[in-house]
Amino acid sequence: MGGANQVTAGFLPLLDSAVLVVAKELNFAAAEGIDLALARETSWANIRDRLAVGHFQVAHVLAPMPIACNLGLTPLVVPTIVPMALGLGGNAVTVSNALWADMVDKGARADFDPAATGRALKAVVTDRGASTSKPMLRFAVVHPYSGHNYEFRYWLAACGIDSSRDVEIVIVPPPLMLDALASGTIDGYCVGEPWNTAAALAGKGHIATVKAAIWRSSPEKVLGVSARWAEENLDALSALLRALCKAAEWCGNARNRGDIARILAEKNYVGRPREWLLPALEGELPDGSGDTKAIADFFVPFAKAATFPWKSHALWFYSQMVRWGQIQHSAEHARIARETYRPDLYRAALKPLGIALPVANAKVEGALTAATPVGSSGASLVLGPDGFFDGGLFDPDKLDSYLASQKL
């Protein structure tokens, strides 16, 4: 492509790679002068390291990962920024059939309610702790610095389960989750789609709850960008952000869900059956018992400022790094986390599109109990609901008090 800016983006074969994939496949990137090459990887560690050494200029990454990198928590410390999110939601917690049967005996219902399933899991964990014949439950998440790890631990803690002592949490790459569950290596996992739907459809597991119920309208994957490349190629980055925004808007149109599933099912992308992908796109998840359940806002690629890099999201992830002992809190560490997310670059790139751009850089997370109009430029904007299931609130201006209130 003559004269185009060449950009290589790493991604994992997950549903929420859709915005990047659609930007390439439907020529949104090409229309903005970007020759976008997509490189499929098998683990988040590989994505992290290849972004750090320059194989990728940008990547589909876990939302906390660039923060961890900038805080010096990763093996290769290379400054990384987040100028755009890649959607909201998309994860779930799936447990083995045996564990689900035990949870049902303790009052769990097949409705994805995090409070009810959490109480049931707490009762099972308590019984296990009192038993000399049953091992501690083992769960998997995809990476230590992931929304999965933090939302899973948040859910457990809110339900009275100490994630450091009452259960074991291990790291498993997303494509291996189903096999690990089926083999009995783990008792459950928190992962993105299609691996929850896959377990339910295959009869290998039961979806216990979902991210969209634990923390509604919550962040998941983002566009991680080499800070050096961004500084040296600002025009190319802006063009890429516009392409991704247009792709996200296309993905957010309900009429396109079948096409998204068809494209992602191709072997170069997710490479799994279309039937594994459609349920999450339609917000109708199989629960593992043969029924399906409707989940509002399970995966949101565009609406509700889904691509905006909120600094309050960055600081909530930082708060969980502190909570779970990954880093000591300091004003400097909080500043680094806050400055990783770059809404200034997002606004500058997307202003010509006339889309809704939030006026604020941060918000009180969990404060909106209903869809609410908020201040914006370019077009009107409605956010929420965005509540935590336990009624918690995170005010980024009151970080110290929030940290002091957190239970292990």
Write out pLDDT tens, residues 347-360.
999 999 999 999 99
Q: Looking at the predicted structure, is the pLDDT value of residue 1 above 50?
A: no
CB 40 within 8 A of CB 269: yes
Cβ neighbors of 242 (< 8 A, separation 6 or more) are 32, 349, 350, 352, 353
Q: Looking at the predicted structure, is the pLDDT value of residue 210 above 70?
A: yes
* For residues 385-407, average pLDDT: 96
Q: Looking at the predicted structure, is the pLDDT value of residue 40 above 80?
A: yes
**Structural domains of the chain in order of their starting residue, each with its CATH number:** 91-214 (3.40.190.10)
Please give the torsion angle defined by the CA atoms of residues 166, 171, 176 and 181, in that order, rounded to the nearest 10 degrees: -10
Strand 5-11 and strand 34-40: the pairing is: parallel
365 DSSP β-pair partners:
394
* For residues 17-37, average pLDDT: 98
pLDDT at 71: 98
Residue with tokens 């096999």: 179
Q: Looking at the predicted structure, is the pLDDT value of residue 233 above 90?
A: yes
92 DSSP β-pair partners:
191, 210
Which burial class, exposed, middle or buried, applies to 380 when counting CB atoms under 10 A from its CB (0-12, 13-18, 19+)?
exposed
pLDDT in tens, 165-206: 999 999 999 999 999 999 999 999 999 999 999 999 999 999
* For residues 207-216, average pLDDT: 98
Angle between helix 257-264 and helix 274-282 axes, rounded to 10 deg: 140
pTM of the entire predicted model: 0.97
Tokens of 37: 């090459």
Tokens of 249: 């808007």
Cα→Cα distances 201→258, 264, 272, 287, 291, Å: 18, 18, 13, 8, 10
Q: Looking at the predicted structure, is the pLDDT value of residue 364 above 70?
A: yes
* For residues 382-388, average pLDDT: 95
Q: How many CA atoms lie within 13 A of 231 on its CB side?
A: 6
pLDDT at 2: 53
* For residues 114-118, average pLDDT: 98
* For residues 294-323, average pLDDT: 97
Tokens of 65: 């990962």
Q: If residue 339 lies in a helix (H) or strand (E), which one and from where to where?
A: helix 331-340
Instruction: Calculate the average pLDDT of the chain.
Output: 96
Number of residues assigned to the chain: 408
pLDDT in tens, 74-89: 999 999 999 999 999 9
Q: How many CA atoms lie within 13 A of 398 on its CB side?
A: 11
Tokens of 261: 């599933």
pLDDT in tens, 244-269: 999 999 999 999 999 999 999 999 99
Would you place residue 407 in the very low, low, confident or very high pLDDT band (cuts 50, 70, 90)? Answer: confident
Of 129-133, 243-247, 321-325, 358-362, the least confident: 129-133
Residue with tokens 């770059």: 342
pLDDT at 132: 80
Sign of the Cα torsion 374, 376, 380, 383 reads negative
Cβ neighbors of 118 (< 8 A, separation 6 or more) are 155, 156, 158, 159, 160, 161, 209
CB 77 within 8 A of CB 69: yes
